Structure 1
Amino acid sequence: MYKPKILVVEDDPAINNLIRTTLETQEYQYHTAQNGSGALMEVLSYKPDVVILDLGLPDMDGVSIIEKIRSWSSIPIIVVSARTEDQDKVEALDAGADDYLTKPFSIDEFLARLRAALRRSHAERTKTEEENSVYINGDLKIDFTAGCVYMNDAEIHLTPIEYKLLCLLAHNTGKVLTHNYILQEVWGNTLASDVPSLRVFMATLRKKVEKNPSAPKYIQTHIGVGYRMIRQ
């Protein structure tokens, strides 16, 4: 069973200890950081599901941390701060914080806010996993989890090599993949003598996924270079 991971960014020992004790009581996994630079490193390496963030850190303002995290991640951020002015709350929320809890706070309220943030995080993670497990391009659909390929909702049967080739092209849609790159990824070698074999497999793959293989819609040939999956 997946256990949510929490990052606690708080330099006040008393508040830090209170939050950690609360998380331990609820059996949450957590890491801690006492400054902004440490927080940013933890977000990148620990990949938490929720960040609990104090705004008054010794090396940088919490709002700057929120802005930096938001430049690459949509992870829920709950601000826990002694700043009570509306302007402070507005700045933090406008920067990308999901919630704002003012110190001192009750444990029950803190846990309720945390559970709400974890629900959002879980929904986002589930959505991402679902999107990554299925590839759709025009009438072509690849279910990576099931290992099945469909055209116009009808399943087509590919050989293992054909399936590997199609998946490689799909994962790199829009990019020209050289003969050598494809040979290395699919067969584990880059021998030029194997390029004719690659062309044969690509031709049989086209017959299965293209309505008109002589005028391919999906798999484009770059003569003397390689192949590219076209986005429809």
Structure 2
Amino acid sequence: MQTGATRVHDTIGAITRHIRTNALAPGDRLPSEAFFSDNLKVSRTVVREAFRSLAALRLIDLSAGRRATVARVDHGAMSAIIEHGVHTDQISVHQIYDVRRTIETRTAALAALHRTDAQAERIVGLAQAMARDIDTPPAVMEHDLAMHIAIAEAARNPVFAMIVGAFEGVTRETWPIGWRSRTSRKEQLVMIDLHIALAEAIATGDPARAAELMAEHFDVSVRALIAAGIA
């Protein structure tokens, strides 16, 4: 005999199969709750719970009074898992930075190869904005985060952009700690100058140099976190 949880699980599978077999794209509407209830022989309560689960996973969008639609892929669900892992001591900050270093050295190289002129201009502009706003750390952080996303997007692989975006929540918690550990203007400038050099390597189309600088940036960042006592 099926339990309620099993029925919901099976209904989730049926809805996702419907999306695939009907080649539904982001923004396309799904059939109604009544349609799935009738075709799957389950209650509308089960279908509603399945819809809510899919919405929590960012696979569909739910709006009051409107038909559910296929969602555009984003990093929300992955971000929640990563943050949960950190806050419950299942993932360490250093493990996250190790993964980021591996992934983002690749995004930097690919961005140097594939970026458009507009993307290169934005990446350089964000690095320069970090230098301009050096006396306003929250602004520096926003430029820094935006630059890493811009580099991932310029790599022309949406999976990279999604993964890098998923780390943003944890980075927002660790970035101020790392910044405060850089107690001298010289140390702050080292971090910012690395970003400027990285942006210029991407803009000039030098993948090897871009990857090298991104790796160095993460090495410097990890040393700053260690100095701040982050394990």
Task: Kindly indicate whether structure 1 or structure 2 has the higher relative contact order, using CA contacts under 8 Å at least 6 residues apart.
Answer: 2
Question: Is the strand fraction higher in 1 or 2?
Answer: 1
User: Normalization by structure 1: what TM-score?
Assistant: 0.26
Q: Which protein has the bigger helix share?
A: 2
